[in-house]
Structure 1
Amino acid sequence: MRQMIVHCEHETIQMALIEDGRLAEFAVERSREESVVGSFYKGRVVNVLPGMQAAFVDIGLKKNAFLYIDDVLHPHLEKQPKQKPSISQLLTAGQELTVQVMKEPRGGKGARVTTHFSLPGRCMVYMPTADYVAVSKKIGREAERARLKSIGEQLRTDEEGIIIRTVSEDEPLEFLSGDLEYLRKEWTRILEKAESSSAPALLHRDLGLLQRFIRDSFDPLHDELVIDSMLKGEETKSYLKETVPGMEPKVTYHTGGGPIFQAYGLDEQMKAGFARKITLPEGVTIVVDQTEAMTIMDVNTAKYIGGDNFEETVLKTNLMAAQQIARTLRLWDIGGIIIVDFIDMDREEHRQQVVSVMEAVMRKDRTKSFVVGWTKLGLLEMTRKKARENSSLPFAKPCVNCGGKGIVIE
């Protein structure tokens, strides 16, 4: 059973996900810093840059949003032109259009937006113009995949696209049909608001942290929600009953016994899990350094004595580190390019074992990741998708003296 522990205080919600007694995910959402990912806006093209094949769009935020040509072309690859046109042929300055945010504003960069629209529901993702049906790769049985794809083709009309989510496995047609009708109505509301609004304007905002997790990941049959706010708890129960009719959700209210995170032993887990230097019980250490361009992880045997010989010690060290690294990527919600400096291994089968172990742990991660492979220098290169910026290290801020470099120049 998984437990979702939620702490509500003033304008802040903190969510910790526990799997098998271990902290697996942590996220923070502050009402003054609401996420814009997934939200729809009516924007106005400010300028078009043919040399970058991109445009900047005013959607009402501090920084203009960035729209790349691939996000303007048809969402179905087979319907895109063989020769990519200039973006100036598709967009002009002053033009108004509806866009959806796919990446948060970050640093000096504005949000990244797209015209490849998608509305996530509990059992499917609705794409009004994508013109294809796909099934979650986590559904492994080919017969079930074929059945769900057939249902998707039966349900969709015109150019609608559907991605059927893992939760739909073994569910009847009616289960998907109700979700699709709800999402169609949402899309109609967005179109109607776009028609009556002047750019820039917010047309639709995605759900908050609690509701997003429930929609995307919460299993009301097996998972438990523990929360220390009666108000938020009742709101969440109502949302659960709406999304899963006939189901009585497992919601527990924490009313005493100290702060909720302390009561569930999360304070120490968070302190250890978010440390720059992570030490495993066996003595192996992993040092994590984040730069603007990438994240680097360095593995060391440290106090680990190991096996009968050096080669066995190195393999065991790297296998333990691989499991922890996969968990750390998910816990810290690290995105972008990731480089891991494992201890050098001479045998190819050992390197493959390390990758296999890491991929097995990463399958529990809702965020897509991809192991690129080993570089010529023996480093493991991988990527992990990340759209939101508000789920990072808890309450962490760069040092005012060194700017996060860890050194002070005198």
Structure 2
Amino acid sequence: MRQMIVHWSQHITQMAFLENGRLVEYAAERDQQQGLVGTYYKGRVMNVLPGMQAAFVDIGQKKNAFLYVDDVLHPHLEKQPEVKPSIETLLQPGQDIVVQVRKEPRGGKGARVTTHYTLPGRWMVYMPFAEYVGVSKKISREAERNRLKAIGERLRRKEEGLIMRTVSEDEPTEAVEGDLAFLRAQWDNITRRALEADAPALLHRDLSIVQRFIRDAFHPQTDELIVDSAEAAREATSFLDEMAPGAYKQVRQYTGAESIFTAYGVQEQLHKSFGHKITLEGGATLVWDETEALTVIDVNTAQYIGGHSLEETVTNTNLLAAEEIGRLIRLRDTGGIIVIDFIDMELEAHRRQVIARLEGVISRDRTKAHILGWTRLGLLEMTRKKARHDSAGFAPATCPCCGGSGKVGQWQE
């Protein structure tokens, strides 16, 4: 059973997603602080840097956005020149350009933007200039992949590109066609506003976190949406009814005395899952250290003593840890380079089991992740894409005085 729990208050909306009662996704969004990913701007090129093959674009934010040369070339790799041109031949200072944010600003860096425009819908992702049709890799049936690709090729115009999403599997042509018509209208509105606006200007903003999740992952026929606000219930019902008429029956308003997150066990799971040290079932522990670009996870047997031999105990601990790490990476929205220090195992077959267990968990993650394998030191390397920072609404803030590096001690007389 999958449940989407939404806690709405005056200044913040929090969303938790449960699978059989276990928390697997969490996001928070404050009023007036909606994320920038997916947002379209009419920007102005401020600097072109040949040495970096990049340009800085004023989009009206505190920091200028970063536009790399690959994000200016044609979105279809086969349409790009064999020799990459200099950024100077593509952009000039003072030039107006429509860009889409692909990565949030973070630390001292501005947002990363692209001209590879995408508009996600319920059944597809629309790319106005990509000139190809793709099908989600998570659709495994070859006949269904061929059917969806044929539908996309028939519906798209010459310059357009479409990616058929996982949820489009077995959907009728009429549903896909309606989605495409809606996305084309959105793109026409963006281009019209771009002609009328003076740079820098906001042209289009992506949906709220709740609407995005409903659009991207909510299954109206099987999933349950529970909210603790009449206003949020009406908004979700209206959005669902536009997307899938009749699905409003799956929306329920919570009216209990205690907090909705407490009633459904979300608050307790959040506190356990976002700590520096996480205790697993049986007593094993994970120690989680996260920086801007690198996350290191250390697995320890701690109090876990199950198994008839040391190798069996170690393997069971690592398998349990792999299952939990896959869930926590998705829940904490951990991105960048991830290094996992599993407990050393003697047998290669056991190392393969650990990778298989981790792959099975991350295959359910909507964000792309890739396991690279074991290093010579016995560490497991993987990467995971991250564009948004929604879950920071719960994670504890870093101390502004020491940046998280301080220690508490006592003076010695």
Counterpart for residue 398 of structure 1: 398
> How far apart, in 2, do the equivalents of 1:143 and 1:233 lie?
39
> How far apart, in 2, do the equivalents of 1:20 and 1:255 lie?
22
Runs of 4+ in structure 1 off by over 3 angstroms are 246-249
Q: How does 1:268-347 map to 2 (within 5 A)?
A: 268-347=268-347
Counterpart for residue 151 of structure 2: 151
CA 1:262 to 1:363, structure 2 compared with 1: closer, same or farther past 3 Å?
same
- Which one-letter code corresponds to 2:28 in the other structure? V
DSSP 3-state at the match of 2:314: helix
Counterpart for residue 254 of structure 1: 254
DSSP 3-state at the match of 1:28: strand
Counterpart for residue 18 of structure 1: 18
Q: How does 1:189-268 map to 2 (within 5 A)?
A: 189-268=189-268
Greater mean alpha carbon deviation, residues 114-123 or residues 290-299: 290-299
CA 1:339 to 1:347, structure 2 compared with 1: closer, same or farther past 3 Å?
same
Counterpart for residue 39 of structure 1: 39
Aligned residues: 410
1:395 shift after superposition: 5.0
CA 1:393 to 1:61, structure 2 compared with 1: closer, same or farther past 3 Å?
closer
> How far apart, in 1, do the equivalents of 2:402 and 2:306 lie?
38
DSSP 3-state at the match of 1:392: helix
Greater mean alpha carbon deviation, residues 246-255 or residues 133-142: 246-255
- Which one-letter code corresponds to 2:241 in the other structure? K
CA contact (8 A) 2:274 2:395 kept: no
Counterpart for residue 88 of structure 2: 88
1:245 shift after superposition: 2.5
DSSP 3-state at the match of 2:81: coil
Unaligned runs of 5+ in 1: none
Counterpart for residue 186 of structure 2: 186
> How far apart, in 2, do the equivalents of 1:249 and 1:238 lie?
11
Counterpart for residue 177 of structure 2: 177
CA contact (8 A) 2:5 2:17 kept: yes
CA 1:280 to 1:230, structure 2 compared with 1: closer, same or farther past 3 Å?
same
Greater mean alpha carbon deviation, residues 18-27 or residues 118-127: 18-27
- Which one-letter code corresponds to 1:49 in the other structure? L
Counterpart for residue 140 of structure 1: 140
TM superposition score normalised by structure 2: 0.97
1:346 shift after superposition: 2.2
DSSP 3-state at the match of 1:32: coil
1:310 shift after superposition: 1.1
- Which one-letter code corresponds to 2:144 in the other structure? E
CA 1:273 to 1:406, structure 2 compared with 1: closer, same or farther past 3 Å?
farther
Q: How does 1:64-79 map to 2 (within 5 A)?
A: 64-79=64-79
> How far apart, in 1, do the equivalents of 2:17 and 2:248 lie?
20
Unaligned runs of 5+ in 2: none
1:247 shift after superposition: 3.5
> How far apart, in 2, do the equivalents of 1:184 and 1:17 lie?
31
> How far apart, in 2, do the equivalents of 1:268 and 1:402 lie?
28
Counterpart for residue 113 of structure 2: 113
> How far apart, in 1, do the equivalents of 2:399 and 2:101 lie?
30
1:407 shift after superposition: 2.2
Structure 2 residue 165 is the aligned partner of structure 1 residue 165: yes
Greater mean alpha carbon deviation, residues 325-334 or residues 249-258: 249-258
> How far apart, in 2, do the equivalents of 1:164 and 1:350 lie?
37
CA contact (8 A) 2:29 2:393 kept: no
Counterpart for residue 130 of structure 2: 130
Counterpart for residue 370 of structure 1: 370
Structure 2 residue 19 is the aligned partner of structure 1 residue 9: no
1:405 shift after superposition: 2.1
> How far apart, in 2, do the equivalents of 1:204 and 1:408 lie?
47
1:272 shift after superposition: 1.1
CA contact (8 A) 1:241 1:249 kept: no
> How far apart, in 1, do the equivalents of 2:34 and 2:187 lie?
22
CA contact (8 A) 2:342 2:379 kept: yes
> What are the superposed Cα offsets for residues 29-54 of structure 1, whole Å, 9 maximum, x if unpaired?
00131111101000000000000000
| Structural RMSD (CA) | 1.2
Greater mean alpha carbon deviation, residues 43-52 or residues 278-287: 278-287
1:389 shift after superposition: 1.5
CA contact (8 A) 2:293 2:335 kept: no
